[in-house]
Amino acid sequence: MNSELLRVIVADDSGTVRALLRQWLSPELGFEIVGEAVNGRQCVELVLRLRPAIVVMDMDMPEMNGVEATREIMWRQPTPILIFTSSEIDKDRGVFYEALAAGALDIFYKPRLTNDEEVNLATSRFRRLLKLLAPIKMIRRCLPRPLTAEPAVLVPAWPARPQRLPEILAIAASTGGPAALSAVLSQLPPGFPLCTLVVQHMAAEFMPGFVEWLGQGVKVPVRAASRGELARPGEVLVAPGDCHMRLGAGGRVELDVSAPVNSCRPSADVLFDSVAEASGPAAMGVILTGMGEDGARGLLNMRRAGALTIAQAEESCVVYGMPKAAADRGAAVHVMELGEIVRFISTLASPVGDL
């Protein structure tokens, strides 16, 4: 029986929270808390010694915070990490996205313990999420160098710079997306000639902070899309939380709260389908790391409409789900490592020549 339990390490300096998690993750419910840490350093030591299936970690801890601990774990013993945090995040939003960029898989709010209905809903969602994240095979990340530090290596399938430059760049990502998107957008030069439309699967309450974090260190404007605005070159528009984003007639952005597609809102398929219809061959679609199949069908429609389409290769994905679905359907003209995608997109700003 014990071999079937999901082995968890809990890291939180609050004894109350650790006691709560012991209730939520009891053996009767299929979990075993194999270690408890009160700071990030202790958490890293427990992960190295006990090798759990997943880590549930607070961000604000003494000695070593959650971001630093996440980086250490991803370097020394890559393990799925779920951030378990207070909902009062406005005081320092960036720390959570730094943790996601460092390799943490998702963020979960600590519920208000005074609201029984909220607690019951949260416990069920929390356990489902742990079971979903725990099987993910994590990638070792080097501490000293950022994701894009090494120049990409040309491969035989390297695409020539298109003779007709696209006008729209549509990008979709899910699990692992914050780091991948940051790697891509940070390399866009000032005056990048395309409008970039982004769908990132993330809880709505985290999206404003995510957009703000994503724009740090980027040389082009990054903001949440607004209904009816024109998709202008040199700007990055991110789908707001819990809203589908479409490219409509005349290059204007459309937002709506129609039913989720592939259990997602915003949905990559919704964005890609609209770009295929509105821009046809004057577009480029990129599907990055993520769980599930959202975006595969829409990317195929973009390819059929004449767009250049790219899926991230398995080796650089945190989760090879969405890109795999796209590749399996024949939706991607090219399957490329993240560094290669970054380099190719950045060349679209060059006025002359192929790669």
Write the pLDDT tens digit of every residue in 200-217.
999 888 898 899 999 998
> Does residue 144 surpass a pLDDT of 70?
no
CATH of the domain at 108: 3.40.50.2300
pLDDT at 148: 39
pLDDT at 110: 79
Residue 89 lies inside a defined structural domain of this protein: yes
- Tally of domains in the chain: 2
How many Å apart are CA 205 and CA 190, to the nearest integer? 30
Residue 139 lies inside a defined structural domain of this protein: no
Last residue of a domain, one of 87, 108, 133: 133
The residue with tokens 């014990």 is 2
Percentage of residues of the chain with pLDDT beyond 70: 88
pLDDT at 92: 53
Burial class (CB in 10 A: 0-12, 13-18, 19+), 289: buried
Averaged pLDDT, 131-135: 92
Task: For 153-211, write each residue's pLDDT tens digit.
Answer: 334 445 665 666 789 999 999 999 999 999 999 999 998 999 999 999 998 888 988 99
Averaged pLDDT, 255-267: 96
Task: For 279-288, write each residue's pLDDT tens digit.
Answer: 999 999 999 9
Answer yes or no: do 262 and 209 share one domain.
yes
User: Is the bond leading into 266 cis (omega within 30 degrees of zero)?
Assistant: yes
pLDDT at 345: 92
Answer yes or no: do 107 and 188 share one domain.
no
CB 311 within 8 A of CB 328: no
Residue 183 lies inside a defined structural domain of this protein: yes
Coil vs helix vs strand at 127 = helix
Task: For 327-341, write each residue's pLDDT tens digit.
Answer: 999 999 999 999 999
Answer yes or no: do 250 and 322 share one domain.
yes
Answer yes or no: do 174 and 72 share one domain.
no
Averaged pLDDT, 131-157: 58
Answer yes or no: do 341 and 266 share one domain.
yes
The amino acid that residue 179 corresponds to is A
Answer yes or no: do 178 and 128 share one domain.
no
Known catalytic residues are 174, 201, 294
Residue 138 lies inside a defined structural domain of this protein: no
Residue 141 — very low, low, confident or very high, per pLDDT cuts 50/70/90? low
> Does residue 135 surpass a pLDDT of 50?
yes
| Cα dist from 131 to 9, 193, 256, 286, whole Å | 14, 42, 31, 28
> Does residue 103 surpass a pLDDT of 60?
yes
Query: What is the b/e burial string over 158-172, where b = at least 16 CB atoms within 10 angstroms of the residue's CB?
Result: ebeeeeeebbbbbbb
Answer yes or no: do 180 and 129 share one domain.
no
Answer yes or no: do 176 and 318 share one domain.
yes
Coil vs helix vs strand at 6 = strand
The residue with tokens 């009816």 is 228
Last residue of a domain, one of 111, 133, 155: 133
For residue 84, give every residue at least 6 positions away whose Cβ sits within 8 Å of its Cβ, in sequence order, or none: 12, 17, 21, 56, 57, 58, 108, 110
**Residue-range definition of the domain harbouring residue 302:** 168-347
Answer yes or no: do 119 and 184 share one domain.
no
Q: Which residue has the higher pLDDT, 354 or 290?
A: 290
Averaged pLDDT, 105-114: 80
Nearest in space to 306 (alpha carbons), one of 276, 351, 273, 344 = 276
Nearest in space to 272 (alpha carbons), one of 240, 295, 256, 304 = 295
Q: Which residue has the higher pLDDT, 36 or 111?
A: 36
CATH of the domain at 304: 3.40.50.180
How many Å apart are CA 103 and CA 239, to the nearest integer? 22
For residue 179, give every residue at least 6 positions away whose Cβ sits within 8 Å of its Cβ, in sequence order, or none: 100, 101, 102, 103, 147, 318
**Average confidence score pLDDT of the chain:** 88
Answer yes or no: do 213 and 295 share one domain.
yes
- Residue 210 CA, chain-centre distance (Å), reads 10
CB 80 within 8 A of CB 51: no
Task: For 52-102, write each residue's pLDDT tens digit.
Answer: 999 999 988 988 999 999 999 999 999 999 999 875 654 455 788 888 888
Residue 143 lies inside a defined structural domain of this protein: no
Answer yes or no: do 179 and 324 share one domain.
yes
What pTM did the predictor assign?
0.85
Percentage of residues of the chain with pLDDT beyond 90: 70
Residue 354 lies inside a defined structural domain of this protein: no
Answer yes or no: do 107 and 195 share one domain.
no
